[in-house]
């Protein structure tokens, strides 16, 4: 088998051959008259007309030699067969195709349509020209890229060779379009907030840090747009959303990528309860638009999204899935024992809520398959959620879990500037104690809400995870076009 270097050298010779025959291997434009999808949709009508049409696409297969050469071309949406036949085009043009063209090359073909004896819709080529000569061979048609790391590293080949992978990213695009349309129709306006921030806040995470030379200041890539979006509520915008990238300097696993897509939206005068209803309606609407039905493939079965979503308290999860009778009354040491019994590592600096959360992720969350809202979290779980009036030890927050994946985090926004300052002080103490995932005190944000922040309900939805659920995918890197990767060692 020829090496890559040998194949590339041979293709460079073919490139020179094209040039020597007066054919520009990389022309500016094509005279394509129709897309392949348009041709297939109106094939009978176009065939009867016997009118020449011009198609363009990448050669995906070549069969035959001599008097008959069949090939398939794909233009990104659809595929059609082409036929080069001696007597139907100039002999030198036929020979040039056989001598200079390869699978992977882009070609323009002009001819008429017919159906072969095998009922294959085909373009009988009268003339052709190269649009782009490829210098590297495509992966094997039947096996594609077998190395998973290479699939992610060279996604362009992955999407080229796999219809399933390509379709997954089409679904992703449609999901985002459907969400934007749903929010726009509900009166939300899309805004943009800084990616570079002097102080990365709005979530419990560690940021990526950089330095701006002209201003001579340290900056962080945002971990969340939350604080800026709530400043816009202060500024008189009643409903805002942002759909874009966040960056968190954390590990990579099945549901985490350092660079990820997040939707956050905030509605003045909303609460966690009203936003819970809104989120359920949004998810059901998006599913119906993507699948035209309410059943979503999951594993070997399906999840019926039309049913009313379950609601359960955070502590009741432990009673149901972890056989813990009285989780509310347990001390840190008791939670530490439960964690260790379930193989959850506990660091010396971790508080009780961190241990609780890790135990939940190990023992409870994987068992939640059907859509479930989790409510009634301890106050320490979020420095930005309003305390419940009936029980100030709990916050007015919910999360949505489907298929064992956390998709949504939401709460009634804390708009008491004095309580917010006290919560910030708690976060600062945790940082001094060694915790890295904290939201540091932000005086600029505190000043903003001292002007008055209306009651509001805020929601964050992980777009990558939502697409994982909607495409029956288990790894976040399968739904991110270009996931973060370690550089390949040569």
Q: Give residue limits of the domains in the chain.
A: 4-138, 157-322+364-478
Amino acid 225: pLDDT:
96
Mean pLDDT throughout 114-141? 94
Q: Quick check: 435 pLDDT over 80?
A: no
Contact 59, 104 (CB under 8 A): yes
Q: Which two tokens stand for residue 398?
A: 């919910």
Overall average pLDDT of the 332-345 stretch: 94
Measured CA to CA, the distance from residue 204 to residue 436 in angstroms comes to 8
If you average pLDDT over residues 448-470, what whole number do you get? 97
Which pLDDT band, with edges at 50, 70 and 90, does 64 fall under? confident
Q: Which two tokens stand for residue 254?
A: 């099945």
Torsion of CA 41, 43, 46, 51, to 10 degrees: 120
d(CA 341, CA 418): 40
149, 150, 153, 158: CA torsion to nearest 10: -120
The answer to which of 95-104, 137-146, 317-326, 455-464 has the lowest mean pLDDT is 137-146
pLDDT of 490 strictly over 70? no
Query: Which helix or strand (DSSP H or E) is residue 292 part of?
Result: none
Phi first, then psi: give them for residue 457, nearest 5 degrees. -115, 125
Residue 486 has pLDDT above 90, yes or no: no
The predicted pLDDT at position 145 comes to: 64
Residue 314 and residue 357: Cα distance in Å, rounded?
Answer: 10
**Tell me, what's the pLDDT at 142?**
45
**DSSP strand pairing (239-247 vs 189-190):** parallel
| Backbone φ and ψ of 397, nearest 5° | -135, 155
Residue 144, pLDDT score? 53
**Residue 488, pLDDT score:** 80
CA gyration radius, the chain? 29
Per-residue pLDDT at 83 exceeds 70: yes
The model's confidence at residue 148, banded by pLDDT at 50, 70 and 90, is: confident
Q: Does domain 4-138 have CATH number 2.40.50.140?
A: yes
Residue 82 has pLDDT above 90, yes or no: yes
Residue 452 in this model has a pLDDT that exceeds 60: yes
Q: Tell me which DSSP letter residue 206 carries.
A: P
Mean predicted lDDT score pLDDT of the chain: 94
The answer to whether the beta carbons of residues 400 and 373 sit under 8 Å apart is: yes
Residues with Cβ within 8 Å of residue 11, at least 6 apart in sequence: 102, 133, 134, 135, 136
**pLDDT, position 110:** 97
Domain 157-322+364-478 has CATH 3.40.605.10: no
DSSP H helices in 225-347: 226-234, 272-291, 314-321, 332-341
Judged against a pLDDT cut of 50, whether residue 251 lies above it is answered with yes
The pLDDT assigned to 78 comes to: 95
Q: How far apart are CA 379 and CA 271, in angstroms?
A: 16
Q: Can you tell me whether residue 219 is helix, strand or coil?
A: strand
């Amino acid at each position: 088998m020829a090496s890559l270097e040998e194949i590339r050298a041979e293709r460079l010779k073919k490139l020179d051959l094209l040039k020597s025959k007066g054919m520009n291997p990389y022309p500016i434009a094509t005279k394509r008259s129709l897309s392949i999808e348009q041709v297939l949709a109106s094939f009978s009508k176009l065939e009867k007309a016997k009118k020449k049409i011009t198609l363009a696409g990448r050669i995906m297969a070549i069969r035959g030699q001599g008097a008959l050469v069949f090939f398939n071309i794909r233009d990104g949406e659809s595929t059609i067969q082409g036929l080069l036949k001696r007597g139907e085009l100039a002999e030198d043009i036929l020979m040039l195709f056989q001598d200079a063209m390869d699978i992977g090359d882009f070609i323009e073909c002009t001819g008429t349509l017919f159906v072969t004896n095998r009922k294959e819709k085909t373009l009988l080529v009268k003339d052709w020209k190269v649009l782009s000569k490829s210098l590297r061979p495509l992966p094997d048609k039947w096996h594609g890229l077998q190395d998973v790391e290479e699939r992610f590293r060279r996604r362009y080949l992955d999407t080229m060779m796999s219809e399933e992978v390509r379709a997954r990213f089409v679904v992703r695009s449609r999901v985002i379009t459907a969400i934007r349309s749903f929010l726009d129709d509900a009166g939300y306006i899309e805004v943009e907030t800084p990616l570079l921030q002097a102080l990365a806040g709005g979530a419990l995470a560690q940021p990526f840090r950089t330095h701006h030379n002209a201003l001579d200041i340290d900056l962080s890539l945002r971990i969340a747009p939350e604080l800026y979006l709530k400043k816009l509520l202060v500024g008189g915008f009643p409903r805002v959303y942002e759909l874009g990238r966040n960056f968190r300097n954390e590990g990579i696993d099945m549901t985490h990528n350092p660079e990820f897509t997040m939707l956050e939206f905030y509605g003045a005068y909303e609460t966690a309860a009203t936003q819970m209803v809104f989120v359920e309606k949004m998810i059901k609407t998006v599913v119906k638009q993507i699948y035209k039905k309410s059943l979503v493939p999951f594993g070997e079965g399906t999840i019926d999204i039309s049913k009313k979503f379950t609601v359960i308290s955070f502590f009741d999860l432990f009673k149901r899935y972890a056989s813990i009778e009285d989780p509310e009354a347990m001390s840190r040491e008791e939670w530490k024992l439960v964690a260790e019994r379930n193989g959850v590592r506990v660091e010396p600096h971790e508080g009780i809520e961190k241990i609780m959360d890790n135990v939940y992720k190990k023992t409870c969350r994987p068992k939640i398959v059907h859509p479930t809202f989790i409510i009634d979290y301890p106050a320490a779980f979020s420095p930005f959620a309003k305390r419940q009036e009936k029980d100030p030890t709990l916050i007015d927050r919910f999360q949505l879990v489907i298929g064992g994946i956390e998709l949504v985090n939401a709460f009634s926004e804390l708009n008491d500037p004095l309580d917010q300052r006290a919560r910030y002080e708690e976060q600062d103490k945790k940082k001094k104690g060694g915790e890295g995932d904290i939201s540091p005190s932000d005086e600029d944000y505190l000043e903003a809400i001292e002007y008055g922040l209306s009651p509001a309900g805020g929601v964050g939805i992980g777009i990558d995870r939502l697409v994982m659920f909607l495409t029956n995918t288990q790894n976040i890197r399968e739904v991110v076009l270009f996931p973060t990767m370690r550089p390949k060692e040569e």
